[in-house]
Amino acid sequence: MSLFYGSIVLIGGVAGTWLGGWLGDRVGKANPGAYALIPAICFLLAAPAYAAGLFAPSRELAWFLFLIPQMLGLAWLGPIIAAVQHIVPPNMRATASAGFLFINNLIGIGFGTWFVGRMSDQMTAAYGQDSLRYSILYTLGFYLLSSALYFLAARRLGRDWYRAEA
């Protein structure tokens, strides 16, 4: 099982991180809002793709179905870190990145993992062995919420972009 999951994370993660960064560089120069549009669209597409993977009838199909949202789910990394770098003056970029990554990891990885596990434990009576599957399914709503917030951020990002005084 670790090879199954690890290969999805490795292949999808590398592809998504690269693709998001490439797209951000490609379209973000002309429109800074694109740095937020990329994760907005990717998260919107990732949620139903993850749901499809959760209910795949075979392990092989599940592998491919999870690969796609893994890629989409990590495409935010390049564009958002670039955006964080560009909404503050150059002398504040390291601090802004450190603060962003601290909060992202504390809430996303720290609290998020605990929350999914706790929700799964609470749902065991209703779903039995499938409680983790349904816990993950229900928490995909956070992808949709994130997508909506990124769509809102895209409208404003160009105005918040740091431009050095000439």
Task: Delimit the domains of the chain by residue range.
Answer: 2-160
Question: Band of the pLDDT at 18, cuts 50, 70, 90?
Answer: very high
Give the residue-averaged pLDDT of 108-118.
93
pLDDT at 60: 92
Q: What is 2-160's CATH topology?
A: Growth Hormone; Chain: A; (1.20.1250)
- Residue recorded with tokens 């209910």: 55
**Measured distance CA(73)–CA(20) in Å, rounded:** 10
> Residue 128: CB partners within 8 Å, gap ≥ 6?
none
Mean pLDDT for 42-63 is 95
Q: How confident is the model at residue 20 (pLDDT cuts 50, 70, 90)?
A: very high
The rounded radius of gyration (Å) of the Cα atoms in the chain is 18
Dump pLDDT digits (tens) for 81-111: 999 999 999 999 999 999 999 999 998 889 9
Average pLDDT across the chain, whole number: 93
Residue 166 confidence (pLDDT) above 60: no
Which residues, other chains included, contact 123 with Cβ-Cβ below 8 Å and sequence gap of 6+? 131, 134, 135
Phi-psi region of 164 (alpha: psi -120 to 50; beta: other; left: phi over 0): beta
Burial class (CB in 10 A: 0-12, 13-18, 19+), 131: middle
- Distances in Å between the Cα of 36 and the Cα atoms of 9, 33, 94, 154 are 23, 6, 20, 5
Q: Which two tokens stand for residue 47?
A: 């949620």
Euclidean distance between CA atoms 75 and 91, whole angstroms: 27
